[in-house]
Amino acid sequence: MSSNGHSEQVLVVQPSRRIEGEVRMPGDKSISHRAVIFGGLADGPSHITNFLPGEDCLCTLAAMQALGCSIEVIDRTTLLVHGVSGKLRPTFEAIDCGNSGTAMRLLAGVLAGQSFRSVLFGDRSLSGRPMKRIIDPLAKMGADIKGEGPKGCAPLQINGRPLKGIDYHSPIASAQLKTCLLLAGLFANGATSVTEPTQSRDHTERLFDHFHAPLAKEGRTLRILGGTTLHGNDLLVPGDFSSAAFWIVAAAAMPGAALTITQLGLNPTRTGLLSVLLRMGGQIRETVEANVAEPYGTLQVVGRQLKGTQIGGDEIANVIDELPILAVAAALAEGETVISNAEELRVKETDRIAAMAECLRAFGVPVEEKPDGMIIQGGAKLTGAQVKSFGDHRVAMSCAILALFAQGPTRIVDTGCIATSYPTFVKDLNELTDQTSVRLGSMTDSVMRMAKSGEGK
Ligand code: S3P
């Protein structure tokens, strides 16, 4: 078994001279979590389409069901959520958040102000991630919530009790923290405000609006009144930009490549990767076609030689989940790329600075690791490598993309984690590239055995 309870699947990726086609991404992970939570707390039904049936969001779905929300799973990506008007029921089982920091931090916000006890737990990776960042402000609201050790790690013991609103100035630009406190604020007495240092993704703000709940915004400060009602509403979850990022970089960096991604979420607080790639010389056309709750549309990417750049400052929050694949773009570009102010990467599903530095080096890329980022020398000759995912979906998929540009096959160990955010990644890899060795469908143990034995090459 892998560190995160997935069976240890090995993905073998062959080099590819082609990236082309038209593709649609599975639903956005951040929005899918929120759709189920907001819909579950609302009064009345919400019909959710293109929900992401990845393991992370399925944890949130199961949690909201356990808390008394009736959620009809019409098919894997279509849900009918019957909201309970904020009246959750106690669950006597501990709630499993799997690998998902979003599930744990958002649910903690919801549960802190209930009239019952709850326990939130997760896998080994999630149990090592800092929850103090939510515990401290929730405690200021009067919550009784305890984690383990100095980082306040999971399992979280929440003794639900009445909360009072606070004005909180967050030291980090974190959408999870912001959302946790605003959700807790729904159940608090008075107003709760959150001010963030720079703009983090604004899906929560958009969903409050979509669910017809007034959320005041002034500069970087958001304010919610306790007792605010969410009203059920239908929602189409657009394709996940962070999943598309793997193909956007692959196509942008491969001269001759041509890729179209449709119905893709193009929320400007998520698409910082495009600005970085444009600076690197990328050729990308973005067309927003609709703006219902969230903007979405079509992205066209044409491949060419990229050049190095600097990534840092206020831009980091916008590209936080794309930094592993941007490190791959840097390796494929000519010249040096410097990533700085990205210390948050060290507390993601794994330490993504250390993990990406190790993986890039295995392919032959010179990398200097810094406390808050890395310096990558692009343009080195790449050789297929044996790498491990560190149990992190984005590290696994970033390595798969770099492998397309290497000489010889690459073996990526422990890729079951990909199912947390992008269960159909391998299918898309087969369809968009020259792969012959990667099997379609779910990566089962037999595929692992096949990969290990080299069968199917
Ligand atoms: C997310 C916010 C980000 C991001 C994560 C999803 C969200 O985390 O990395 O994948 O849905 O709110 P932080 O809030 O910790 O930056």
Task: Determine the distance separating the centroid of ligand 1 and the alpha carbon of 435, expressed in angstroms.
Answer: 32
Kindly indicate the confidence band of residue 443, based on its pLDDT and cuts at 50, 70 and 90.
Answer: very low
pLDDT in tens, 289-330: 999 999 999 999 999 999 999 999 999 999 999 999 999 999
Q: What is the pLDDT of residue 444?
A: 43
The best mutation among 29, 105, 174 to test binding of ligand 1, ranked by most ligand atoms within 8 Å of the C-beta, falls on 174
By residue range, what is the domain housing residue 377? 9-27+238-453
Q: What is the pLDDT of residue 297?
A: 98
Distance CA 285, CA 300 (A): 5
Q: Which residues are catalytic?
A: 321
Let me know whether 189 and 276 are in one domain.
no
Q: What is the pLDDT of residue 435?
A: 83
Task: Determine the distance separating the centroid of ligand 1 and the alpha carbon of 295, expressed in angstroms.
Answer: 19
In a domain, 47, yes or no: yes
Task: Determine the distance separating the centroid of ligand 1 and the alpha carbon of 272, expressed in angstroms.
Answer: 14
pLDDT of 423 over the 70 cut = yes
Let me know whether 219 and 265 are in one domain.
no
In a domain, 1, yes or no: no
Distance CA 154, CA 156 (A): 5
Letter for the amino acid at 397?
M
Ligand 1 atom nearest to CA at 175: 14
Q: What is the pLDDT of residue 438?
A: 60
Let me know whether 269 and 327 are in one domain.
yes
Q: Which residues sit with their C-beta closer than 6 Å to ligand 1?
A: 30, 102, 174-177, 179, 200-201, 320-321
Distance CA 450, CA 429 (A): 17
Task: Determine the distance separating the centroid of ligand 1 and the alpha carbon of 384, expressed in angstroms.
Answer: 31
Q: What is the pLDDT of residue 437?
A: 56
Task: Count how many domains the chain has.
Answer: 2
Let me know whether 292 and 413 are in one domain.
yes
Coil, strand or helix: which one is 404?
Answer: coil
DSSP secondary structure letter of residue 424: T
Let me know whether 246 and 392 are in one domain.
yes
* β-strands 70-75, 78-84 pairing: antiparallel
Let me know whether 218 and 271 are in one domain.
no
Distance CA 167, CA 373 (A): 31
Rounded alpha-carbon distances, angstroms, from residue 99 to 4, 51, 127, 294: 7, 18, 9, 26
pLDDT of 187 over the 70 cut = yes
Q: Which residues pair with 284 in a beta bridge?
A: 301
Last residue of a domain, one of 186, 221, 236: 236
Average pLDDT, rounded, for the chain: 94
Let me know whether 105 and 134 are in one domain.
yes
* Percent of the chain clearing pLDDT 70 (strictly above): 94
Last residue of a domain, one of 236, 258, 279: 236
Q: What is the pLDDT of residue 46?
A: 98
pLDDT of 267 over the 90 cut = yes
Q: Whose CA is nearest to atom 10 of ligand 1?
A: 321
Q: Which is more confidently placed, 346 or 448?
A: 346
Sign of CA dihedral 25, 351, 389, 7: negative
The best mutation among 30, 99, 176 to test binding of ligand 1, ranked by most ligand atoms within 8 Å of the C-beta, falls on 176
Mean pLDDT of 338-357: 98
Judged by phi (left if over 0) then psi (alpha if -120 to 50, else beta), residue 238 lies in: beta
In a domain, 198, yes or no: yes
Let me know whether 196 and 320 are in one domain.
no
The full DSSP string for 79-121 is: EEEEEETT-----SSPEE-TT-HHHHHHHHHHHHTSSSEEEEE
The best mutation among 134, 241, 320 to test binding of ligand 1, ranked by most ligand atoms within 8 Å of the C-beta, falls on 320
In a domain, 3, yes or no: no
Let me know whether 209 and 344 are in one domain.
no
Q: Whose CA is nearest to atom 16 of ligand 1?
A: 174
Rounded alpha-carbon distances, angstroms, from residue 404 to 15, 18, 417, 453: 4, 9, 20, 20
Mean pLDDT of 386-406: 98
pLDDT in tens, 41-83: 999 999 999 999 999 999 999 999 999 999 999 999 999 999 9
Let me know whether 37 and 22 are in one domain.
no
pLDDT of 403 over the 70 cut = yes
pLDDT of 445 over the 90 cut = no
Let me know whether 150 and 245 are in one domain.
no
Distance CA 361, CA 382 (A): 10
The CATH number assigned to the domain holding 173 equals 3.65.10.10
Q: What is the pLDDT of residue 5?
A: 62
Let me know whether 392 and 266 are in one domain.
yes
Kindly indicate the confidence band of residue 454, based on its pLDDT and cuts at 50, 70 and 90.
Answer: very low
Last residue of a domain, one of 236, 260, 285: 236
In a domain, 4, yes or no: no
* β-strands 235-236, 43-49 pairing: parallel
Task: Determine the distance separating the centroid of ligand 1 and the alpha carbon of 446, expressed in angstroms.
Answer: 33
